[in-house]
Amino acid sequence: MSTTTFSSASAVPFDPPVALASLSGQSDAEWAKAGAEYAGVAFLGGIAIDEPTRQAARAMVERDRTEFLPADPSSYVDDQLAELADVSLQPGFNIRTTTLQPLVAVADVCSEHDAILELNAHCRQDEICAVGGGESLLRDTERLCEQVRTASERGAVVSVKVRTEVSGVDLPALAARLEAAGATILHVDAMDSESEIAAIADATDMVVIANNGVRDRESVFEYLEYGADAVSVGRPSDDPRVLARVRTATDEWFGRGAEQTGTPMLEENSKDGFGQTDGER
């Protein structure tokens, strides 16, 4: 497992600069292991850790959505991260919460495992937003910054997962606030607004991970040209053909050949995974 350290502003704390983005009910330690040869970091989860978000997740399960609902979320995070102790991959955990006490417990666990704690301000499921979690946090800057400060003060490296195209939300301005509160990484679901990555990257020294539609050389280069420091793969994160294309493209961008990195070379023209949207909805 990698140790999460930084040498300068926007220094990417994982290598290669490819992330596996969390998919609720799917992204566990076994999923991360399967993608480890292609990615530098895997964000497990997302997992609801306090009672309001857990109640929301239970309601979502009742309408056939897959969710992680362990009896003890903190212990589950601990167990999952322990499974990755000997894997050459930086672990992270995407969490949903509306309250601080469970966040403290999970932040302590992440800190002990040198794992990144990723705050979910991204989920747009009605049940999560109704209790004040997920995407609703984008409109409640003070509460989101309080979560960032709380996790950061426990020694965890903090990422915040956000999305573009949320009415009334100025992501570049929010990025500056999150950085001041102690966040180190901003994981951005660009939706259909890929060019927004440029304004966000210009507004912060945080590591910016660009997500949505990352499938091949063209999509990787587009995000990196806009100023992203890394890219992430969502829904096709279990498809080695997509992951190999993305890894090869990032290696090319940063001037590293397959002979240097050992990246498996797979068929470039495969069309699997295209036309899908990424990330937790």
Q: What is the 3-state secondary structure (H, E, C) of 89-158?
A: CEEEEEEECCCCHHHHHHHHHHHHCCCEEEEECCCCCHHHHHCCCHHHHHHCHHHHHHHHHHHHHCCCEE
Burial of 42 per CB tally in 10 Å (0-12, 13-18, 19+): buried
Would residue 268 count as lying in a domain?
Answer: no
Mean pLDDT of the region 261-267: 44
191-12-248 Cα angle (round to 5): 70
Return the pLDDT at 268: 40
The answer to whether residue 185 sits within a structural domain is yes
Asked if residue 267 is part of any domain, the answer here is no
**In the predicted model, what is the mean pLDDT of the chain?**
91
Predicted pLDDT of residue 11: 80
CB 163 within 8 A of CB 209: no
Tell the residue number behind the tokens 């950061």, with chain if given.
152
Tell me which DSSP letter residue 281 carries: -
End-to-end CA distance of the chain: 29
Q: Does 269 fall in a domain?
A: no
254 lies in a domain?
Answer: yes
Q: Which domain holds residue 246?
A: 18-261
Q: Does 2 reside within a domain?
A: no
The Cα–Cα gap between 138 and 104 comes to 21
* pLDDT on residue 259: 46
Report yes or no on 10 lying in a domain.
no
Structure confidence at residue 261 as a pLDDT band (50, 70, 90): very low
pLDDT on residue 276: 42
Q: Is 162 helix (H, G, I), strand (E, B) or coil?
A: strand
CB-CB neighbours of 7 under 10 Å: 6
Model confidence pLDDT, tens digit, residues 208-248: 999 999 999 999 999 999 999 999 999 999 999 999 999 99
Percent over 90 (pLDDT), the chain: 86
pLDDT at 277 over 80: no
Q: How far out from the chain centre does Cα 4 lie?
A: 15
Burial class (CB in 10 A: 0-12, 13-18, 19+), 160: buried
Choice among 40-44, 84-88, 131-135, 272-276 with the minimum mean pLDDT: 272-276
**pLDDT, greater one: 171 or 4:** 171
Question: Per the structure block, which two tokens stand in for 65?
Answer: 């959505």
Q: Is the pLDDT of residue 13 over 60?
A: yes
Q: Is residue 4 part of a domain?
A: no
Q: Residue 9 — pLDDT band, cuts 50, 70, 90?
A: very low
Neighbours of 167 (CB within 10 A): 6
C-alpha–C-alpha distance, residues 109 and 75, integer Å: 9
Residue 162 φ then ψ, to 5°? -130, 175
Among residues 236, 231, 240, 233, the alpha carbon closest in space to that of 266 is found at 240
Q: Is the pLDDT of residue 6 over 90?
A: no
Domain count, the chain: 1
For residue 246, give the CATH number of its domain.
Answer: 3.20.20.70
State whether residue 20 is helix, strand or coil: strand
Residue 78 in this model has a pLDDT that exceeds 50 = yes
As a whole number, mean pLDDT of residues 130-153 equals 98
Q: Give the span between the Cα atoms of 190 and 209, in whole angstroms.
A: 10
Q: What is the pLDDT of residue 191?
A: 97
Q: Nearest 5°: phi and psi at 50?
A: -115, 170
Summarize the confidence of residues 6-29 as an average pLDDT.
Answer: 84
For the cut 60, the answer to whether the pLDDT of residue 269 exceeds it is no
Residue 270's pLDDT is what? 38
